[in-house]
């Protein structure tokens, strides 16, 4: 079965091709069936590959499937080849499963849009690019997928390009990501010049011999990868594009900007575990970037009033948790949180989409309230998602977040402390959303009266995702930790001995995390249900700090002042003065001179053919003169 | 006296083509439905292609006059594919410009035969034979739109200058014969290798090669032997332009590669001469293309530039450069043929050209054609992962390996210049507002769609999937045994 894994890529590729060529002719209905079907087939292949991988002994669970030799230039050669191991299959399962559900949801959600075929063509293309990214067996093919998902992200953020905000958000995402992509390209070049191969297996086998632990080159490579990841996975300092990306359709926010694409950075760091193990300092950087992002984004999420933006900042914050994990070397925990997060965050976004659908596009939580009466299914699914996000015991997020915090506790105590505080904040804002949106009194009667539950094509994926958001947690139960044992060989091909943890300590921390989460929920209940004035008083007592947080630490303004505006001015000068006077002047001048020469030549010659022959003669004389005198 | 052994199997593809030419001419007299003739031509091309691929005789044959080696096979396939696609293109539109489609098909087949002779020839006599067969056929084909003054003018120009160039070619052959005592490439190569100093007229060799280069330069449209190109490409019926712009280049470059490999003595000045030609060819071609308003003229200049890129691979003087050049030829065959095919699909029935104004807003009128044109323009620009990118990558890396980094840099700068006029086409089609009147663009028939889809798919697929091609190319170059 593993040899047929390329089918996973084939189906979405076919879907993209068929829909982009014949989409409008096929019509909305056919397209809305075709696109999800293609992703479902990929999912089936992924499951089959997973099962056959399970059937193999542990040390054979890494298989490369070479499709063809892609290019050869001298001793540089790259194959179009897939790497099937525990890590890539886990990612592929998450991508295709969540992807399929979101495709189905989209069929209902995008039903009234004019450009349904275009939308599904992009969505299928995204699945193709994302699978290329996670299944690649070398850095160059990974880069192809990396750029591919970036492109689709840009196209889908700006899907409603008539809205200036959407078009701008698309551009912002693309440009900010460019910075990160540049880092990845440089990292790849370093790897190539240092090791002479881009194949993962070669790189990870040779790197410890070529680069001593802690050497400058491996430090540079890993830091460049970190830069790339901060772009794609929206971490400090490049996270600014993700909140704006919410201008795209909600299912896109769920699929690309929450569940899958933004986790690419985490995946790449986990994939390059061998390199990061060689550069402990870079690992520290990763962990600190992660924890600071988690904390800051969490505080911003507390102050936002737009449902999707809260979720966006929460995504940034949760990605920060994953960075903590891969930064302290707990790669399996990071991937575990990635998978649980994919389910519960997709669930939250899609539920938010259902709310938005019911309220005619309204996203301001201050206008909502008591919606559990009108939207029972959406309420329950949102509640499950929020519980998982908050880390309420027995929901998936609880186990995965705890695994990360436990690893941080062992390696980096300060990181753990900030992490625990952030976990409290997470629970607080999660249930702020629940209470303000679904409980209490309705605040806008007109909106409330018009609210209605979404059709089944929307709610069924919600229910399935809700089940997933609970169950995925149990693949990583502490002490048993199926996912840890499953993934470990992918990170340490050499077979490093597994570290032994103190089970008692782990259980104590588990209880602490659970209590923290419940405390957050309780605080949210106090603040938003019992004593609605409390947030205002807190806000007043915070003064300037509060305003700082409310305005998202003025990060966008700082970028505008120090990066965007100077660059725009430079661009304006280049485009206006330099281009017109300098380059156009030179080109026009050249063209003028050429034209003048042509005119002169034409006047000299009576017949064109004669001129042509003369030119040939001149050429021949020049050529012969050169060859004869050598 | 013993009769020479004649291995007719070796020239089976040619025999098929020539026989089909005669058959088409005869059938023209009796068949009422002229489309049948085109199908006959297609059948002949398919049969010839099968013969090329299936019958692999031992080389050389006919007393060393022709070689059926890997290079010949590779070039023959490229040429035959181009012929097949050109026939498909002509199927629906020949009646726009002529009442004698039979002669048209026959000449196309004959030209193909000439090209294959040239690509496989291993003796100057046969090279010249092939050159003349293909040239004479093309002179007539260029002027086939008898009612179009521009077509007539183009044919006359092409003929006059072609005759001039043939003179150089023949004189070059004669001098090389004088210097080495043979017209056979293998003999010449042996002679140069064993006793180059003792040859009495050795100094004549570089002069001969130089004159030969002029002849090749004409056929390949290298600057400054290129001046006919824009007029001829614009004046000739579009399907002829599509055919000759790619197939002639393949034949002439294959032959030039063979000749260079034979007379090549490791002299750097020769390579520098090629490099110089490449630089002026690329640069002038691209600069002149910048401001064209006729798409056919623009692509004519662009084809000059592309000849310069291929020449970069030859100037590298190493295996990698030669491999790159061959890959480039196959890439160019598909992307350029596709571009001309799109032009033919867009052009009005009473016209033989398309202006930039006519394609403005094409995406709203004919989204399919606009999309395909975009693919070809991107490929010609050299965007990954389309074939054009890899073609450039390989020839430029050959140049770098051959110690001519500067030449690669000039090539890359040229690619950037070229991006302007290729992408301008895309910009006009998608963002230029809607000025193209839908009624003016004739319905696109299945044959043209087939051509377009084949070329577009090949433009993408040959970039992603290169293994078998590159292996064939590598073998072809290894067999040349470059010193």
> Hey, what are B320's tokens?
């990698």
Query: How far is Cα A302 from Cα A309, in angstroms, rounded to an integer?
Result: 10
The enclosing H or E element of A523 equals: helix A503-525
Beta-bridge mates of residue B184:
B123
pLDDT for residue A525: 86
The shortest C-alpha distance from B357 to chain A (Å) reads: 21
Range with the poorest average pLDDT among A100-114, A579-593, B403-417: A579-593
Beta-bridge mates of residue B355:
B294
**Section A163-175 average pLDDT:** 88
**Section A268-278 average pLDDT:** 90
Residue A83 has φ and ψ, to the nearest 5°, of: -110, 120
Residue A212, judged by CB atoms within 10 A of its CB (0-12, 13-18, 19+), counts as exposed
Residue A259 in this model has a pLDDT that exceeds 80 = yes
CA Rg value for chain B: 21
Query: How far is Cα A253 from Cα A351, in angstroms, rounded to an integer?
Result: 12
**Section A525-549 average pLDDT:** 78
Please say whether the beta carbons of B220 and B249 come within 8 A. yes
A504 touches chain B (CB under 8 A): no
Q: For chain B, how far is it from start to end, CA to CA, in angstroms?
A: 38
The shortest C-alpha distance from A181 to chain B (Å) reads: 16
**C-beta atoms of B269 and A627 within 8 A:** yes
pLDDT for residue B434: 67
**Section A469-494 average pLDDT:** 71
pLDDT for residue A602: 44
Nearest Cβ partner of B214 from A71, A144, A620? A620
User: Which residue on chain B is closest to A77 by alpha carbon?
Assistant: B467
Residue B186, judged by CB atoms within 10 A of its CB (0-12, 13-18, 19+), counts as middle
The residue among B312, B372, B302 whose CA lies nearest residue B332 is: B302
What does each C-alpha distance from A261 to A91, A151, A444, A491 come to in angstroms?
A: 11, 11, 36, 21
Query: How far is Cα B136 from Cα B163, in angstroms, rounded to an integer?
Result: 10
Nearest Cβ partner of A73 from B161, B270, B397? B397
What are the chain A neighbours of B161 within 8 Å (beta carbons)? Answer: 609, 612-613, 616
CA Rg value for chain A: 28
Residue with tokens 């000749």: B259
Query: How far is Cα B340 from Cα B342, in angstroms, rounded to an integer?
Result: 5
The residue among A592, A550, A89, A48 whose CA lies nearest residue A306 is: A550
B39 cis-preceded (ω within 30 degrees of 0): no
Query: How far is Cα A116 from Cα A95, in angstroms, rounded to an integer?
Result: 22
What are the chain B neighbours of A587 within 8 Å (beta carbons)? Answer: 290
Query: How far is Cα A614 from Cα B224, in angstroms, rounded to an integer?
Result: 10
CA A285 to chain centre: 20
**C-beta atoms of B227 and A616 within 8 A:** yes
Q: What is the dihedral of CA A179, A183, A184, A185, to 10 degrees?
A: 100
Q: For residue A457, how many C-alpha atoms fall within 13 Å in the half-sphere facing its CB?
A: 13
The full DSSP string for B250-292 is HHHHHHHHHHHHHH--S-HHHHHHHHHHHHHHHHHHHHHHTT-
Nearest Cβ partner of B394 from A21, A68, A73? A73
**C-beta atoms of B214 and A609 within 8 A:** no
Residue A604 in this model has a pLDDT that exceeds 60 = no
The enclosing H or E element of A70 equals: strand A62-73
- A568 contact partners, CB below 8 Å, separation of at least 6: none
Please say whether the beta carbons of B117 and B130 come within 8 A. yes
Please say whether the beta carbons of B183 and B63 come within 8 A. no
What are the chain A neighbours of B288 within 8 Å (beta carbons)? Answer: 594
Query: How far is Cα B117 from Cα B129, in angstroms, rounded to an integer?
Result: 8
pLDDT for residue B85: 95
What are the chain A neighbours of B465 within 8 Å (beta carbons)? Answer: 68, 80
**Section A66-76 average pLDDT:** 77
Mutate to test the interface with B, among A6, A71, A77 (most CBs of B within 10 A): A71
Residue B111 has φ and ψ, to the nearest 5°, of: -60, -40
Please say whether the beta carbons of B329 and B220 come within 8 A. no
Task: Tell me what ipTM this predicted complex has.
Answer: 0.85
Nearest Cβ partner of B227 from A74, A615, A624? A615
pLDDT for residue B118: 94
What are the chain A neighbours of B206 within 8 Å (beta carbons)? Answer: 627-628, 630
* Pairs of CB atoms within 8 A across A/B: 92
Tens digit of each residue's pLDDT (9 = 90 or more) over B400-445? 998 899 999 999 989 988 888 899 899 998 887 766 555 678 888 8
> Hey, what are B154's tokens?
């183009």
Assign A493 a pLDDT band (cuts: 50, 70, 90).
low
pLDDT for residue A264: 92
Mutate to test the interface with A, among B228, B300, B316 (most CBs of A within 10 A): B228
What does each C-alpha distance from A238 to A235, A243, A533 come to in angstroms?
A: 6, 11, 35
A623 touches chain B (CB under 8 A): yes
Q: Could you give the angle at which helices A413-438 and A307-327 cross, rounded to 10 degrees?
A: 160
- A459 contact partners, CB below 8 Å, separation of at least 6: A354, A377, A378, A381, A453
Q: What is the pLDDT of chain A when averaged over all its residues?
A: 84
pLDDT for residue B479: 79
Query: How far is Cα B370 from Cα B358, in angstroms, rounded to an integer?
Result: 12
Please say whether the beta carbons of A75 and B401 come within 8 A. no
Residue B66 has φ and ψ, to the nearest 5°, of: -140, 150
Q: For chain A, how far is it from start to end, CA to CA, in angstroms?
A: 64
pLDDT for residue A223: 92
Q: DSSP strand E in A412-528: where? A: none
Tens digit of each residue's pLDDT (9 = 90 or more) over A3-44? 888 889 999 999 998 888 887 888 888 888 999 999 999 999
User: Which residue on chain B is closest to A627 by alpha carbon?
Assistant: B206
The residue among A318, A338, A317, A347 whose CA lies nearest residue A469 is: A347
B55 C-beta neighbours (distance < 10 Å), count: 13
Mutate to test the interface with A, among B223, B224, B300 (most CBs of A within 10 A): B224
pLDDT for residue B58: 61
What does each C-alpha distance from B299 to A515, A584, A608, B234, B354 come to in angstroms?
A: 72, 23, 21, 9, 11
The enclosing H or E element of A68 equals: strand A62-73
Residue A605 in this model has a pLDDT that exceeds 50 = no
pLDDT along chain B (483 residues), means of 10: 65 92 92 89 94 76 74 92 94 82 92 94 92 94 88 90 93 90 86 68 83 93 89 91 95 92 76 91 86 88 95 90 93 95 89 86 86 94 90 92 91 89 90 67 88 93 84 83 58
Query: How far is Cα B195 from Cα B430, in angstroms, rounded to an integer?
Result: 63
Assign A591 a pLDDT band (cuts: 50, 70, 90).
low
The full DSSP string for A77-115 is EEEEEEEEEHHHHHHHHHHHHHHHHHHHHHHHHTTT-TT
The shortest C-alpha distance from B290 to chain A (Å) reads: 9
What are the chain B neighbours of A144 within 8 Å (beta carbons)? Answer: 385
Assign A320 a pLDDT band (cuts: 50, 70, 90).
very high
Residue A201, judged by CB atoms within 10 A of its CB (0-12, 13-18, 19+), counts as middle
Q: Could you give the angle at which helices B319-346 and B70-97 cross, rounded to 10 degrees?
A: 10
Query: How far is Cα A7 from Cα A67, in angstroms, rounded to an integer?
Result: 11
Backbone dihedral region for residue B481 (phi beyond 0: left; psi -120 to 50: alpha; all else: beta): left
The shortest C-alpha distance from A51 to chain B (Å) reads: 30
Tens digit of each residue's pLDDT (9 = 90 or more) over A84-96? 888 899 899 999 9
Residue A499 in this model has a pLDDT that exceeds 60 = no
pLDDT for residue A109: 84
Q: What is the dihedral of CA A91, A94, A100, A105, to 10 degrees?
A: -130
B251 cis-preceded (ω within 30 degrees of 0): no
**Section A497-525 average pLDDT:** 80
pLDDT for residue B5: 62
Query: How far is Cα A178 from Cα B37, in angstroms, rounded to an integer?
Result: 55
**Section A566-584 average pLDDT:** 75
DSSP A240: T
Residue with tokens 């695994």: A403
Helices and strands in chain B, H and E counts: 20, 0
Tens digit of each residue's pLDDT (9 = 90 or more) over A372-386? 888 888 899 999 999
Tens digit of each residue's pLDDT (9 = 90 or more) over A205-251? 888 888 888 888 899 999 999 999 998 998 888 888 888 888 888 88
pLDDT for residue B198: 64
């Amino acid at each position: 079965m593993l040899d047929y894994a390329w089918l996973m890529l084939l189906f979405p590729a076919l879907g993209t091709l068929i829909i982009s060529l014949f989409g409008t002719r096929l019509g909305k209905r056919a397209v809305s069936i075709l696109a999800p079907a293609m992703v479902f087939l990929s999912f089936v292949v992924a499951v089959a590959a997973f099962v056959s991988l399970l059937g193999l002994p542990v040390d054979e669970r890494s298989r490369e499937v070479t499709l063809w030799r892609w290019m050869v230039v001298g001793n540089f050669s790259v194959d179009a080849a897939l790497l099937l191991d525990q890590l890539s299959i886990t990612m592929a399962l998450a991508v295709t499963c969540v992807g399929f559900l979101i495709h189905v949801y989209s069929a209902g959600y995008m039903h009234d849009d004019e450009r349904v075929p275009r939308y599904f063509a992009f969505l299928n293309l995204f699945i193709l690019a994302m699978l290329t990214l996670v299944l690649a067996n070398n850095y160059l093919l990974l880069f192809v997928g990396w750029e591919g998902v970036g492109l689709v992200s840009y196209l889908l953020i700006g899907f409603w390009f008539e809205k200036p905000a959407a078009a701008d958000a698309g551009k912002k995402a693309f440009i900010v990501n460019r910075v990160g992509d540049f880092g990845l390209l440089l990292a790849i070049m370093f790897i190539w010049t240092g090791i002479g191969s881009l194949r993962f297996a070669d790189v990870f086998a040779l790197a410890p011999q070529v680069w001593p632990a802690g050497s400058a080159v491996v430090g540079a490579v890993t830091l460049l990868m970190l830069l790339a990841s901060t772009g794609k996975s929206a971490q400090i300092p490049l996270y600014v594009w993700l909140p704006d990306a919410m201008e795209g359709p909600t299912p896109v926010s769920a699929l690309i900007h929450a569940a899958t694409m933004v986790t690419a950075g985490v995946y790449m760091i986990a994939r390059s575990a061998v390199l990061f193990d060689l550069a402990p300092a870079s690992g520290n950087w990763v962990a600190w970037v992660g924890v600071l992002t988690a904390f800051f984004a969490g505080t911003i999420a507390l102050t936002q009033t737009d449902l999707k933006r809260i979720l966006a900042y929460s995504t940034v914050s949760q990605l920060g948790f994953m960075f903590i994990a891969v930064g302290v070397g707990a790669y399996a925990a990071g991937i575990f949180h990635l998978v649980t997060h994919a389910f519960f965050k997709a669930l939250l976004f899609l539920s938010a989409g259902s709310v938005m659908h019911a309220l005619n596009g309204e996203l301001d939580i201050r206008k909502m309230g008591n919606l559990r009466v009108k939207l029972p299914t959406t309420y329950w699914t949102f509640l499950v998602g929020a519980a998982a996000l908050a880390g309420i015991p027995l929901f998936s997020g609880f186990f995965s977040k705890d695994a990360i915090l436990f690893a941080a506790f062992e390696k980096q105590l300060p990181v753990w402390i900030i992490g625990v505080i952030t976990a409290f904040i997470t629970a607080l804002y999660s249930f702020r959303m629940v209470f303000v949106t679904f409980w209490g009194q309705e605040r806008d009667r007109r909106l409330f009266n018009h609210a209605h539950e979404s059709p089944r094509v929307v709610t069924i994926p919600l229910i399935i995702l809700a089940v997933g958001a609970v169950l995925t947690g149990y693949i990583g139960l502490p002490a048993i930790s199926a996912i840890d044992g499953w993934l470990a060989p992918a990170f340490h091909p050499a077979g490093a001995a597994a570290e032994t943890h103190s089970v008692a300590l782990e259980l104590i921390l588990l209880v602490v995390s659970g209590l923290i989460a419940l405390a957050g929920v309780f605080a949210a209940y106090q603040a938003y249900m019992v004593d609605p004035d409390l947030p205002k008083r807190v806000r007043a007592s915070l003064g300037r700090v509060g305003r700082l947080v409310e305005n998202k630490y003025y990060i966008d303004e700082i970028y505008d002042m120090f990066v965007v505006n100077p660059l725009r001015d430079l661009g304006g000068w280049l485009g206006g003065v330099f281009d017109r006077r300098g380059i156009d002047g030179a080109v026009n001048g050249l063209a003028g001179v050429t034209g003048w020469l042509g005119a002169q030549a034409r006047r000299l010659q009576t017949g064109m053919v004669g001129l042509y022959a003369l030119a040939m003669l001149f050429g021949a004389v020049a050529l012969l003169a050169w060859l004869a005198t050598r | 006296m013993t009769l020479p052994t004649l291995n007719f199997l070796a020239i089976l593809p040619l025999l098929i083509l020539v026989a089909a030419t005669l058959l088409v001419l005869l059938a023209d007299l009796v068949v009422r439905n002229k489309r049948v003739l085109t199908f006959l031509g297609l059948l002949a091309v398919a049969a010839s292609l099968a013969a090329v691929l299936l019958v692999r005789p031992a080389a050389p044959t006919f007393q060393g006059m022709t070689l059926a080696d890997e290079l010949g096979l590779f070039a023959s396939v490229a040429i035959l594919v181009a012929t097949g696609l050109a026939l498909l293109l002509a199927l629906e539109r020949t009646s726009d410009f002529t009442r004698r489609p039979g002669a048209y098909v026959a000449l196309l087949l004959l030209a193909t035969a000439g090209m294959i002779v040239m690509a496989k020839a291993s003796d100057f006599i046969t090279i010249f034979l092939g050159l003349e067969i293909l040239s004479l056929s093309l002179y007539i084909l260029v002027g086939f739109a008898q009612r179009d003054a521009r077509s007539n003018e183009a044919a006359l120009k092409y003929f006059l200058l072609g005759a001039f160039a043939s003179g150089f070619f023949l004189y070059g052959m004669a001098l090389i014969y004088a210097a080495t005592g043979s017209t056979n490439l293998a003999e010449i190569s042996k002679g140069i290798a064993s006793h180059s100093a003792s040859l009495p007229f050795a100094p004549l060799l570089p002069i001969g090669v130089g004159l030969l280069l002029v002849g090749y330069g004409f056929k390949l449209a290298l600057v400054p032997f290129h001046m006919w190109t824009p007029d001829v490409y614009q004046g000739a019926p579009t399907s002829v332009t599509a055919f000759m712009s790619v197939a002639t280049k393949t034949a002439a470059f294959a032959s030039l590669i063979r000749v260079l490999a034979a007379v090549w003595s490791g002299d750097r000045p020769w390579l520098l001469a090629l490099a110089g030609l490449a630089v002026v060819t690329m640069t002038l071609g691209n600069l002149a293309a910048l401001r064209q308003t006729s798409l056919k003229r623009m692509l004519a200049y662009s084809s000059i530039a592309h000849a310069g890129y291929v020449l970069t691979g030859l100037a590298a003087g190493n295996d990698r450069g030669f491999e790159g050049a061959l890959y480039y030829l196959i890439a160019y065959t598909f992307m350029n043929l596709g571009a001309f095919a799109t032009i033919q699909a867009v052009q009005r029935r009473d016209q033989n050209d398309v202006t930039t104004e006519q394609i403005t807003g094409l995406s709203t009128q004919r989204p399919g054609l606009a999309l395909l044109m975009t693919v070809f323009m991107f490929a010609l620009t050299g965007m990954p992962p389309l074939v054009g990118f890899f073609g450039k990558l390989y020839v430029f890396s050959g140049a770098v390996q051959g110690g001519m980094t500067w030449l690669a840099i000039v090539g890359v700068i040229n690619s950037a210049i070229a991006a302007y006029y290729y992408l301008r086409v895309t910009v006009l089609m998608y963002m230029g507002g809607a000025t193209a009147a839908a009624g003016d663009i004739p319905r696109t028939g299945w044959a043209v769609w087939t051509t377009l889809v084949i070329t577009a798919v090949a433009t993408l697929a040959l970039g992603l999937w290169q293994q078998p091609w590159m292996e064939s190319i590598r073998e072809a170059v290894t067999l040349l045994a470059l010193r």
